[in-house]
Structures are given as C-alpha cells and as structure tokens.
Amino acid sequence: MSTVTHHGPGDTTTVAPARSAQPRPVAEFLSTYVFSKDHKVIGLQFLFSTLVWFLIGGLLALAVRWQVAWPWSDVPVLGKLFAQEGGQMSPEFYTMLFTMHATVMIFLVIIPILAGAFGNFLIPLMIGADDMAFPTLNMLSYWFMWPAFFAFGASFFVEGGAASSGWTSYPPLTTNLGASPGSGMGQTLWLIGLTFVGVSSMLGSVNYMTTIIVMRAPGMTMFRLPMTIWAMFITALLQAFALPVLTAAGFMQLFDRTIGTGFFSPEGSIINNQMTGAGGGQPLLWQHLFWFYSHPAVYIMILPAMGMVSDIMTCFARKPLFGYRPMVYSVAGIAGLGFIVWGHHMFISGMNPALGMTFMVSTMMIALPSAVKTFNWLGTLWGGRIQFTTAMLFAISFVSMFIIGGLSGIFMAATPVDIFIHDTYFIVAHFHYVLFAGTAMGVWAAIYFWFPKMFGRTMNEFWGKVHFFLTFIFLNGTFFTMHILGAVGFPRRLADAYHYETFHHLQPMNAFMTYCAIGMVACQAIFAINFFWSMFYGPKAGRNPWNANGLEWTAPSPPGHGNFDIQPIVYRGPYEYSVPGCEKDHLMQTDPPLEHAVAAAH
Amino acid sequence: MNRHSFFVCESLQRVMQNASPALACTLLLCGLLMSATGCGKTPAASFRPNMVEAAKQRLTPDQEAQVATILEAMFGTPDDPVALPETGLDVSKLRLAAGPVHSDIVGRKNGLFREHCSHCHGVTGDGMGPTAAFLNPYPRDYRPGWFKFKSTERADKPTHADLVTILNNGINGTSMPSFALLGEAKVDALVEYVKYLSMRGEAELSLMRYYFELDDEDEGKLPETREFLVEEILLPVAERWQEAEDAIIDVPEMPEVDLQESIALGKELFYGNKANCVKCHGVTGLGDGQANDYDDWNKVVKQWSDEVLSAHDASTSEMSREEKAEHRAWLARSDKALAGDALDPRTIQPRNLRQAIYRGGRRPLDLYYRIHAGINGAPMPAAAGTLTPDEIWHIVNYVRSLPYEYDGELGADRSMVARDRL
Amino acid sequence: MPTSNVRRIGLSFAAALLLTPASVFAAEWGTLTGRFVFGGDAPAAPKLTVDKDVDVCSKFDLVNEELVVGEGKGVANIVIFVRDKNVDVHPDLKATEPVVLDNLGCRFFPHVAFVQVGQDMVIKNSDPVGHNSNVATLKNPASNTLIPAGGETKISFRSDEAVPAAVTCNIHPWMKGWVVVRDNPYAAVTGEDGSFTIEKLPAGELELQLWHEKAGYLDTIVIGGKKTDVKRGRMDVEIKASGTDLGEMVLDASVFK
Amino acid sequence: MRNRLAGLFWSLVFLAVPVLGVAVFAVAPSIDVWLPKDVSAHGKDIDSLFYFILALTGIVFIATEMLLFWFVWKYDEAARGDQKATYIQGSHTLEVIWTIIPAVLLLFLAIYQMNAWADMKMRRPVMKPTVEVVARQFEWRLRYPGPDGDLGTPDDLFLVNDLHVPVDEDILVQLKSMDVLHSFFLPNLRVKQDAVPGMKIPVWFKASEVGQYDLVCAELCGWGHYKMKGRITIESREDFDAWLEAKYREQEATQAEPLQEDL
C-alpha cells in the first residue's frame, strides 16, 4: 500500500494500520464503497449516479420528441405507464416532461458528471496529490446529491406531477400554486432539489479550489497544470461566486410559494380566475437572479469538457497543446465575461432595452475567447500524428460540434435577430450543440480515455467506434435540423404547434428528428454494454495505455488508496509530446529532465 | 480480487460471461427500438361510467354492466359514435369530432374533441380530464345536461347557436378559451359532439335511476326493447334539445330613457328588495355577498359525500352480518366513486361585477338573458315574471356601468377592482 | 358476450307487446289512514344558524326541520303515495286548485308540498325579504325563480318524480323544503301528530311507498310490535271499501341516523 | 502499422459536417422551411442582419470545419509513416491575428445592429395605443379604444384572439399580462415581446401588406401554452374601420341577430 509522505494540510486519510481483529465485512464495505472518503470512489459514485440519470433524462427527451412529432397520438410505453386518457399525452404531462428533461440533464447529469465525477477523480491524480484537501466534505458533496435525487425523483409521483414550468422556473407561473398542475408540490420539491444540488456543488467547489492551490506535487507550478485542472479550477471559482445568488433566489421563490412573501409576484394579478395574494414583487427579479447564476452555469457545463478535450487531443495528436497560455487565459476570460452577459437571456423579457445593448456588446465579446480556444484546438491537430481512438474521435467531434454551437450563438447575441429567434428551436439547437454535442461528447471522450485508470481495463475500441459513429450521425440528424425550424420561428415548449398555419408544414421534419432521437438513445445501449463488459472483461491496461504525459498515468491502474506508490515530482508541463531529439514520442511530467528536452523547451 | 465486483450481482456476471457483447448489443438495441416505436398500442378509449350515480342508486355490478351495454348500443364508443335518428344528431359531424386525433385520407383533421377538449372535459365529457382538478372553475360536466350560458329559458337546453357562441368567444373569467379560429365547420362538429355527450350522459343518468322504479317482477333488469329505450330514455332527452330552438327568450327593446336615468333606476333595483342582487353580489358589487353556496354540479358531489361521510360514522351494531358486509362494500364503493369519479366540491362565488368580466358574454343582450332566466345550474335565480323587462334593462345598464363607477369608497379592497386588467 | 348484446339491442326494432291492463273503473272506494310514531326518545330539533337577513329571520326561532317529532311522538313530514302508475282515479279527484308553497317566516310552508303532474304550483313569498326558490327536480327541468317580498310565481311539472325534489333558497341557505310530484292524486304527508289520510282510493290491493327526507325510502317499520320489511319503502296494503286503518306504525330511531 | 482506410473514413465523417450543414441551409428555403414571409416595415432589418450573420458565420463554419477535416485527413498516423508529430507549442503572431480579427468583426456587428435594435425597442412612436393586448392563461384578450379613442372608458371594445390592425400605419400595442409571463409573437411581423404581469410594455410595428397571420405565445405560460393561438388580420384603413364599427355594434347588441358569418 501507500508509502506516501503526507503533505496536504487537510489530509486526514492516513492509511489505517492492519487491524488485528477480524474484518467486519459490512462496515468495511460501507466505508470503502458507500461512505468512502476516497476521491476516486466518490468520483465513480458520481459517475454511476449521473449515468443513471442520463438514461432517465434521455428517456424523458424521447417522450418529449414523441409529442412534438406526433401530438395527441398514442404514446407507446409511457401511454401505458401513466394511463393517460385515451393513450394520448396530456399537455401538462408534456410540459412536465420537458421541464424535467432539462432539470435532470443540467442539474443531475452535466454539472455533477463534470465537476463531481471527473473533477473528483482527476484533480488529485493529475496534480499529484493523494486525495482531496477535505475528504469528508468531499464525501458530503456526493451524499448531498441524494436528497436532490429523491426530491426530483419523488416529484414525478406527487399530485399534479413534477415541476412543469420549464427548468428556468419563471414566476409567477411557479410562485402561484394555482397557475399550473406542476406548480404545486412538484415545484416545491424542485426547489428543494435545486438547493441540495447547489450545496453539493458548493462543497465540491471549495474542495477543488483548495486542493488545486495547496496540494500540488513538488514542481507542479500553476502553469504546468493540465488544461483539465485549469478548467476545473475556474469552474470551481464560477460556482463559488454564482451559486449563492441562485440559492438565495431559490429560497425567495420557496418563501413566495409557502409563506406568502411577494418577491416575484406583482400586485393584483388574477391567476386561474382567482385573485393572487401578496403583491409588490417583480417577476423580472427572478430572471435576473436566476440567470446571474445560470449563465455562468452554462460555462460550468462546458469548461471542464473543454479542458478534458484539450488533454485528450494532445495525447492522440502526439503534439503539444497549441498555445497553452492563451488557452488558460481564454478559460479565465470566458469565466470573467460569463458574469456580465446574463442579460442576453432577457432581451425581450421586458427589461430596459438600453440594458439590452450593453449585454449585447459583452455577449459578442465572450465569443472571442471561445474562438481562440477553437483555433488553438485546430492548431493542436495541425502537424500532429493523429491516432483515431474512440476517445480522440469524441474529442475531435467535440471541436467540430462546438464550432456549430458557438457560431449559432452569434445569431442570438445580435439583439434584433434575437427578437425573432428567441424562444424558438434555434435556441434549442444552439444549447444542444453546446451541451449535448459539446459537453456530452467531451464526457464520452473522457470516459473512454480515463476508463483504464478507473477500472484497470480498457473499453472495447471497435464497439466504442460504432457507438461514436451512430451517436454522431443521429445527434446531427436530431439537432442540426432544429436550426432551420428555428428560422421558421418554430417555438419551443409547445405541446402541439401544428394548429398554427405558420408551422403546420414542419411536422414531417419533426418526425425525422424524433426518429433520429430514438436512434440516438437506442445506440447508447452499445455504450452501456461496452462499459459494463469492459469493467470486468476488458483487456487489462497498464499504468499508461495511451502513452500520455499526465501524472495520473504514473499511478497504478486503478490507483490504490493514496493514489501514488512513489511521490511524483514534476519536471515539466503536461504536453511534451514528440519532443525533438527525444527517443520516446512523449515525456511524462515525472520523467527526469533530459538535456535536449530542456533545451527544446526554450 | 476484482475490487469493483460489488457493482454487479453474481447472476448478471454469469449472463455476461456467456453472451458475446455483439449479441447483447443487438438484443438490447432491438428491445429499445421496439419499445420506443410502439409494439404495444394502448387500448382503445372508452367512456367512463357515472360511478357516483351508480353508487348512489346502489346498482349491482350486473346492473352497471347492463347500463354500459345499453349505452354502447345506443351511443357507441368514443372512437365509433352511434346516434339513433331520434337524437336528431348528425353522425358525419360526430365522426369528425370523435376518435383519436388523425388526418383522414383527404387530409381533414379528425378527432377534434380529443385534440381540443378532452384534456379538460374528459373523453366522456364528464368534466374530469387530466387537467380538470387544477382549473378554477372546474370544466363543465355535460352529463347532467345543464348548460349555463344560453339564450333560452332557464329550464331549457341551449340552442345550437348558443353553444357555437361559447366555443367562438370562450368564457372569459374561466379557463375556457376561444375556438373561433378553428373555423365554422369544426366548431359546428364539436358542438354536435358536445350535444351527443350530453345526451349520452343524461340517458345514462335516467337508465341508472330507472332501476329504482322497476317492479319486483322485472328482477332488477331494465327492459332492452327499442321501444323502451327510445320512448322512455332517449326521447325525453332528445326532444328537449330539439325544443330548445323554439324556446329563445323574447327580448323587448330597451326602454327609451336617458342612460344615466336608467342606470340610477338599475342601481335602486340592484340594492332594493325586489331584485335583491345585493344579497349575493354584495353591497360593493365585488361578489362578496353569498360565499358558501355550490353550483349544481358541485352540490351533487357535496351532498353525496356528506351522505357517505355520515354513513361512515353511522353505527352498524344493530346490523346483521350480511347487512354489515353489504354496508361496508357500499361504503368502499362510494368512497372509490368519490375519489376517482368526482372532483372535490368547491363553493361558487357570485360574480365580481367590477371587473368587466362577463362569463356569458358582454352584450347587453347577454346580460338581459342572464337576469331574465337566471343561470341554470348556478344559484343565480330567474327574474322573469318578477321583474318587468324594463326593470331588467335598467339593471343591465347599471351592471354595465359598475366597472366604471367611482370606487373610492371601496378603500382597502381597491386591489379587487381589476377592471384595468379586464 | 357484450357485443352480441349490443347487436340485440341495437337491432331489435320490433316493439315488445306491452300488457296494458284493461281500464276498468273500480266499483268501490275506500280511505286509508295511519299514524307514524317515533320509537325512542324524541330528539330536540337543533336550532338553525341565521346569518342572512338577520333582522327579519332571527325573529322566527327557526329550527332544523329534517326530523320533526310532534305531539304523541308523531313523525311529521313522512310522504305516503301510491306507487302504481295505472291506478284508477276517483272521478271527484280532479286537481283544479293550484298548490301553494309559501316562503313564510324564512322557511318553506308547507315543508313538504304535494303536486300532481300538470297541476299548477304557486310559489309565493309572504316574507318582507326577497327569496328565491330553487326546485331541484330530476326528470322535470329544474327551476329557480327570484321571488321578491309579496311576489309569487307559478310553475308546473310535466312528469312525475321518483324521488321528492328539494326546494332551496340560495339567499338563505338554511331554507329547505320538498315537492312531491306524482301523476295521481293519491299521496299524503303526515302532520304534526304523525297521522295521514288518503281518501277515495280504489278498493283492492295497492302498493304504497313511504319516504322521509332524512331516512329516505323507509326500510323497516314496526306494525303491531312486529318488524315489517318495507324495502325501498314499498308496502302492499289491502284497501277496503269500509276504510283501512294501518294503525300505529313505529319508526325505529336508528332509521333516522 | 495502422490502417489508412480508418483515417480516411473518419475524416470523411468530419467532412460531412460542413458539407451537409451547408446543404441543409441551402435546401431549406426551397422546401419552405425558412424565415416566414415578412410583412412588416422593420422586418427587413432583422432579416438582412440574419443573412449577414449567416454569411459571416457560414464562412467561418466552412473554413474551420474544412480545416479540421484537412488536418484529420492529412495528419493521420497511418499517413505520417515514421514521421513524428511536429513539435509546435504555439505562435504569438497567430494568436494575435485570430484574436484581433474576430474582435473587430464582432464589435462591428455589435455596433452595426444597435440602430436597428433602438428602432424596434427604444424609439417608440408618440401616439395613443392602437389596441391593448392582455395575455392570460390561455388566450389573448384585446381591448380597442372605442369611438372616444381612449382606453379605460365605457365605450371600449373587447375582443379575444382576433387582432386586426390597419396596414401601413404605425401600430402601438399596449401589452399586459393578467397572470403569468406570456410572449406576444408575430412571426410574420418579426415582433416578439414578453408580457409581464404588473408591467405595461409598449410594442410597435408597421404592417406593410394585407393578410392574415398567426399570433403565437412564445413564453411558457402553463400547461395550455400551446393553445394560446391568436390571429392578426392586416387590412386597409377602411376595412379596419368597418370591422371595428361592426364589432362595436355587435358588442352593444340588445337584440339577437343572425350569427356573424365571418368569425
């Protein structure tokens, strides 16, 4: 076991001396796998939980697509499950579906899978620490997800169903219990769940920041950190500064709903033909508070994926990252600008139009660091020696898809154009290109890439490529068409848009997208089987199956408790691939300095 | 030892060992695709029986089945409606409105009722669609055959045109939207279907009530002859729908007096003992007079649930074992009917007359109808015979001026005056 | 099989031959009398809460009239009518005068009114306050008319009602009365002492039906100390030309729970 | 040695992105899945801006995706033989170039569109509202000032879902909401504005062509969001006045009339 010298101030996980008493299997199982303070186990716990929710979110999306393509027709499976009258989906059930699809995907999948799963698993390994700075806090950050899982999960079964006011939860629809079926208990549970997700993220973010600042291995300077760690670091900063606002806003909404405050309800409105109680509030206030968190949250949802993709891409292009420092600066730039662009979600919300202009300029500017990152990834490929592993394919497709998602954002940033495309499928296309075609592809790349480190075995490459190919085709079939639907003005969130003459002819196109979506979800079965199969029967991977440079690859696969069997000492940055004059095509961060390597570095 | 074996149970491991990943992939893919694209269609829609009435009339399961059989013979199913010639309904219109939503061979949209109405009013027209419980007021239950806003006398059915007007204008102040943009033909078909559902509901009620009148020699079974069903059950209902067209209220012209004078007279009547509007609509006109009354739909449920509640409390000590068992079965069934087939009764509030919201239409003519005939199904009584037409017109004028009346004296209740938001 | 039933009903155009009884007038007529008494201690009628038009209505000392037990424990307001639809009607019993239902003292008077099909019913208001009378009939179109102080309105019924119809006032929620609508003149309502009389009934076997607003159709009565089953309030009696007296019929207190 | 075919295959997959992407946008207008017909005075500003951004992003899209394809095609391990990857850590010149050029373009775009935005949302015409639109779950309640031209007087005309406006005139809509958020969306007039309870938001436009178009709710307003369908009818001043007059007469009716045919 570990003979690591303990050097972190918060490190409390010393290796227990061998117990003389008989092993207590249940207690040991619980402390090893359930209430573990080991960052790797916590990371895997996050990974498995989020993958389960990913499946649920995907199935919810399928049901949504079904209704959009064939409104009022019999719904297979769901029609029977929920005993809708006449087999057809009721509109409030549909609104609940897309609300919960977004909620699950954002709060229970993307944010926890990036920060929770990969952040936890990778940060100590990549900086050469034996665990997080605050392992107990770390364990709590996972277990605080469970109340959220329960709250969101249970809300499907309460009267009126789960929240159905969109994931943005705009009041007064949400503050008034009579406004919508889902505005009842479902919405309360939604707010409670959200709060717990927030607490979990907050605990994580404090931990990540501290760990990255104080627990780096000797020689690991800030500018020798891999991009993944930089991205995680800045994500943690974003969370730490933006989350309190959302938590406060969530409580305000909860109070509006339960104890009759009126933060978000204007005076004298009549909802469901009844006078509402308290007044004096402003619905727009919620939008400001919500987007003050949720716009930075958009970057929380992509920055870590960008970091991981950078690492994967350099490894399989066998080439240093093009412009390491500009990449770091652009991540920081995105984070900084991310705090002053929230108003672009509110151009037509009734907010002062003059304010719209300032937000438009800052929004245009945030495209810059994104562009810099894209060009740098292209620069990384340029002159490389590309290995088409599954992880690399996902990483390249991340770049390819992020270009689309990024460029479509410019349409929305342009305020006059936004007048037309706001709340249409153009927006849906945009954020699915960023979040699904972007982040989810990045996550798959990361899973295929770090799987050997997690389980000591590699995933099946052939089925991995089949999975990639099908996902890639179907995802573009589903989401690319949304752009042109958006150009027609096809609005989001309509249970049945075809009774409008303007949109009547779009049904076949939506049916096509639904077929693609069905295919997309179905082919994840390949991934699921490959994943579990490889966990047990995949070919054994050594410490460094990809010949990568990072510190994590010096540890055993899977790393034992305390991670490293010898204390890593860092001599260089993480991207020393194909260093001229060096025999190997890569120099790990722990490799002792070579004369020519040092020479080449300057 | 594999440290991650806890994730999967032993049996799964064995299965995984024996199957190749390719085979498993294919199987799972097929399974997912099949379940997603629908091998299992949901069963065809059916009409829901009137459980409250069945429990109330203490029908046996056999009798319930008989009612269902008779009704299916007389009216068909939601997907395949039948209208006997005596109903006077146009089957081709019914077909347009009935069934699941689909486009027929010429691209005409069918299944209009389920597309536009059933999520509130329910496939059966019992006002208990999936959304119903969340609406205030509840969506209308067509089955008892009561309709509120019409141009006919209180006790009469609405005319076809009345229902068309409701569909075209919606009912302001409720969740009923306007369907004018569907076009005349579709609205017409929907009205026909509403009439069909209402006739079916009324026929169901009278069938269920008829068991009570049976003689002992009938052995608890209704005669199933066409004559009985048409003469005793269908015609009394259908004829009243057909008579409605001749029962339109005759409205005399508005008296030729100065508007302000008429308003003053109307105000006097409003507050006076003769018209007594003030008792329910309140001295403020805000509808804050009578607050604990129910409309007829809710009253039925309220009375029935009170009865069942008191039966729960009643002593069973003097009953024989069989009686006790029967009593318990009946209670269980009544509770089930109340829980699954009735919405929690809610009180009805008199209209706030200062909002300029008039559910039955804002034309002076509509208000005249409301005062003349009252509102069927609601506590609002008919003034015909009590008030002269001129007096009714004065009240109409006063009510129309109420939203614009100086309301300073309302003080703290100012927020209730919502005329500024319609 | 339900489908075969469907076909049978849908296609059976052939009218069933109804056995119409030969309409022969009875030769003899008799009178039916009887008295209902309350078995057990007579409960005191609870006072009503009067919260509308208090200045007028609170003067009347109103009580809940669901169960009125009068002198000698007689149960008032029990409705007795002949169930047989084709009963012979004595030629003297042609309904001419309208039945009057009065809003009197913030209650309905009489508490249970009896009216025949086709006969007029005048609902009037002798109170100094306005009332409305909401008649909740099931087979007949329901009506609800505004009746100002001193006013009156006239309604009639086109078909009999299997169950007496409730009459309520929406302005004064405590007010409740009943209307019995039959298509023959043979019905009676027990008075304060619990007794009733139906005159000029055709002699022979007749089926009566007994109803009370709280008990519904009566199930059991005690005649001469013997428990008699009158399921759904149906009771066969023999009308003698000399008159039939059912005597004292005891209604157990549990009936009214 | 790795198979070259795999590299070719995957590069073609990535080539399909720009090719099919452009194809979709090229084909879409011809199958009528494109910007709906514009009948407003200001719509061309939005449309031309849309096309301008489309062209700009289109060029960047094609360029970057083709570059990606080219690199993937060319620098495949199998194609490189024994050659090592080139050791390049970055280029200051390139970084500066690809920071400055997009920055200039984006700033230009931002400033270029300000005027259009101001026209649509800030320079409100000085006039009394043509109509008040009050959104509620789930319909559009309309109120026209009656003969006196003022809203809030007893001669107001109340309608639902059926919005009429005169052509070639400034229209000022006073937008309100009775209950929750809604959004007043006229696709053919390129108008969209959220209706916020407690706020009176002015919306203005000028219709340039006679016709009937959809009025859509674009902000989730509850379970019935999909059915908040309204209609806008753009007609000549004479027709509009006649319609207004007829509707007003209808609202003031004291006698039953034959049903209006043109509902």
List pLDDT tens digits, range A142-160. 999 999 999 999 998 888 8
Report the CATH number that the domain containing residue B270 is assigned in CATH. Answer: 1.10.760.10
- Residues 469-498 of chain A with CB under 8 A from chain D are 469, 472, 476, 480-481, 483-485, 487-489, 491-497
D258 in a structural domain: no
Task: Return the residue in D160, D164, D263 with the most chain B beta carbons within 10 A, the one to mutate for interface testing.
Answer: D263
| One domain for residues D27 and D9 | yes
- CA gap A140, B138 in Å, rounded: 46
Which residue is it, tokens 């775009």?
D109
| One domain for residues D114 and D224 | no
D72 in a structural domain: yes
Omega of the bond leading into B137 within 30 degrees of 0 (cis): yes
User: What is the pLDDT at residue A13?
Assistant: 43
Chain A contact for B252, CB < 8 A? no
User: What is the pLDDT at residue A81?
Assistant: 62
Q: Residue A128 in 3-state DSSP?
A: coil
B45 in a structural domain: no
| One domain for residues B86 and B162 | yes
B114 in a structural domain: yes
| One domain for residues B328 and B414 | no
D213 in a structural domain: yes
| One domain for residues B17 and B76 | no
Query: In chain C, what are the domains?
Result: 26-90+190-257 (2.60.40.10), 94-184 (2.60.40.420)
From the CB of residue D81, how many other CB atoms can be counted at a distance below 10 Å? Answer: 8
What is the average pLDDT across A345-350? 93
| One domain for residues D96 and D176 | no
User: Which amino acid is it at A17?
Assistant: P
How many domains does chain D divide into?
Answer: 2
CA angle B235, B237, B242 (to 5 degrees): 85
A418-432, A565-579, B399-413: the lowest-pLDDT one: B399-413
Q: Is pLDDT at B2 greater than 70 in this prediction?
A: no
- Name the band, by pLDDT with cuts 50, 70 and 90, for residue A102: very high
What is the average pLDDT across A482-501? 92
Q: Is pLDDT at B279 greater than 50 in this prediction?
A: yes
Chain A contact for D101, CB < 8 A? no
CA angle A566, A572, A576 (to 5 degrees): 110
What is the average pLDDT across B268-281? 89
- Name the band, by pLDDT with cuts 50, 70 and 90, for residue B107: low
- How many percent of chain A have pLDDT more than 90? 75
**DSSP code per residue over D134-196:** EEETTEEEEEE--TTS-TTSTT-EEEESEEEEETTSEEEEEEEESSS-EEEEEGGGTEEEEE-
D126 in a structural domain: no
Which among A432, A436, A430, A456 has a CA at the least distance from the CA of A524? A436
Token output for B293: 């009354």
CA angle A89, A63, B8 (to 5 degrees): 130
A420 CB neighbours in chain D (<8 A) are 35, 46, 50, 187, 190, 192
What is the average pLDDT across B286-306? 87
Asked whether C223 and C127 are in contact (CB, 8 A), the reply is no
- CA gap A143, A29 in Å, rounded: 16
| One domain for residues B278 and B141 | no
B365 CB neighbours in chain D (<8 A) are 253-256
Asked whether B127 and B286 are in contact (CB, 8 A), the reply is no
- CA gap A217, A126 in Å, rounded: 9
- CA gap B214, B234 in Å, rounded: 18
| One domain for residues B129 and B220 | yes
Q: Is pLDDT at C48 greater than 90 in this prediction?
A: no
**Measured between alpha carbons, how far is residue B229 from residues B419, C13, C21 in Å?**
51, 11, 21
What is the average pLDDT across A182-196? 92
| One domain for residues D201 and D136 | yes
| One domain for residues B277 and B414 | yes
- Name the band, by pLDDT with cuts 50, 70 and 90, for residue B416: very low
Chain C contact for B387, CB < 8 A? yes
Cβ within 8 Å, pair C149-B290: no
The string of pLDDT tens digits covering residues B128-177 is 888 888 888 899 999 999 999 999 998 899 999 999 999 999 998 888 98
User: What is the pLDDT at residue B27?
Assistant: 53
**Strands, sheet with C220-223, edge to edge from the N-terminal-most edge strand:** C195-202, C29-39, C244-252, C220-223, C226-229
| One domain for residues D70 and D136 | no
Bridge partners (DSSP) listed for residue D191: D186
What ipTM does this complex have? 0.86
| One domain for residues D55 and D162 | no
Q: Is pLDDT at C171 greater than 50 in this prediction?
A: yes
What is the average pLDDT across A73-77? 71
What is the average pLDDT across B49-74? 92
CB nearest D68 (choices: A92, A166, A381) = A381
- How many percent of chain A have pLDDT more than 70? 92
**Measured between alpha carbons, how far is residue C3 from residues A86, B72, C11 in Å?**
21, 9, 12
| One domain for residues B263 and B411 | yes
Asked whether C224 and C188 are in contact (CB, 8 A), the reply is no
B253 in a structural domain: no
Residue ranges making up the domain that contains B337: 299-341
Report the CATH number that the domain containing residue D191 is assigned in CATH. Answer: 2.60.40.420
The string of pLDDT tens digits covering residues B172-209 is 888 898 898 888 999 999 999 999 999 999 999 999 99
| One domain for residues D146 and D217 | yes
Omega of the bond leading into B21 within 30 degrees of 0 (cis): no
CB nearest A493 (choices: D76, D213, D225) = D225
Q: Cα A130 vs. chain centroid, distance in angstroms?
A: 25
- Name the band, by pLDDT with cuts 50, 70 and 90, for residue A10: very low
- Name the band, by pLDDT with cuts 50, 70 and 90, for residue B66: very high
Q: Is pLDDT at A403 greater than 50 in this prediction?
A: yes
Residue ranges making up the domain that contains D14: 4-79+91-121
Give how far A509 is from chain D: nearest CA, Å. Answer: 9
- CA gap A532, B8 in Å, rounded: 9
B417 in a structural domain: yes
B254 in a structural domain: no
| One domain for residues B159 and B233 | yes
D85 in a structural domain: no
**Measured between alpha carbons, how far is residue A311 from residues A159, A231, A307, A549, C128 in Å?**
47, 11, 7, 9, 92
User: What is the pLDDT at residue B289?
Assistant: 82
D86 in a structural domain: no
Query: In chain A, what are the domains?
Result: 35-122+133-265 (1.20.210.10), 302-539 (1.20.210.10)
CB pairs under 8 A between A and B: 143
| One domain for residues D102 and D178 | no
Residues in chain D, pLDDT under 70:
1-2, 257-263
CB nearest B227 (choices: C16, C142, C254) = C16
Q: Is pLDDT at B241 greater than 90 in this prediction?
A: yes
pLDDT averaged over chain C?
A: 83
Give how far A211 is from chain D: nearest CA, Å. Answer: 28
Give the side-chain half-sphere CA count within 13 A for A226: 35
Which uninterrupted H or E stretch holds C36? strand C29-39
What is the average pLDDT across B318-323? 81
User: What is the pLDDT at residue A324?
Assistant: 95
- Name the band, by pLDDT with cuts 50, 70 and 90, for residue C10: very low
Q: Cα C33 vs. chain centroid, distance in angstroms?
A: 16
How many domains does chain B divide into?
Answer: 4
Minimal-distance CA residue of chain A relative to D215: A500
A408-412, A514-518, C16-20, D220-224: the lowest-pLDDT one: C16-20
B42 in a structural domain: no
- CA gap C211, C77 in Å, rounded: 9
Question: What count of residues does chain B have?
Answer: 422
Q: Is pLDDT at B302 greater than 80 in this prediction?
A: yes
- CA gap D259, B164 in Å, rounded: 9
Q: Residue B369 in 3-state DSSP?
A: helix
Asked whether A186 and A164 are in contact (CB, 8 A), the reply is yes
D252 CB neighbours in chain B (<8 A) are 363-364
Omega of the bond leading into A320 within 30 degrees of 0 (cis): no
Give the side-chain half-sphere CA count within 13 A for B392: 26
| One domain for residues B279 and B242 | no
D259 in a structural domain: no
D46 in a structural domain: yes
Minimal-distance CA residue of chain B relative to A59: B36
User: What is the pLDDT at residue A6?
Assistant: 42
| One domain for residues B184 and B235 | yes
B333 in a structural domain: yes
Asked whether C111 and C177 are in contact (CB, 8 A), the reply is yes
pLDDT averaged over chain B?
A: 83
- Name the band, by pLDDT with cuts 50, 70 and 90, for residue B321: confident
User: What is the pLDDT at residue D146?
Assistant: 84
| One domain for residues B335 and B357 | no
User: What is the pLDDT at residue A349?
Assistant: 93
What is the average pLDDT across A311-338? 94
B151 in a structural domain: yes
| One domain for residues D141 and D34 | no
| One domain for residues B83 and B222 | yes
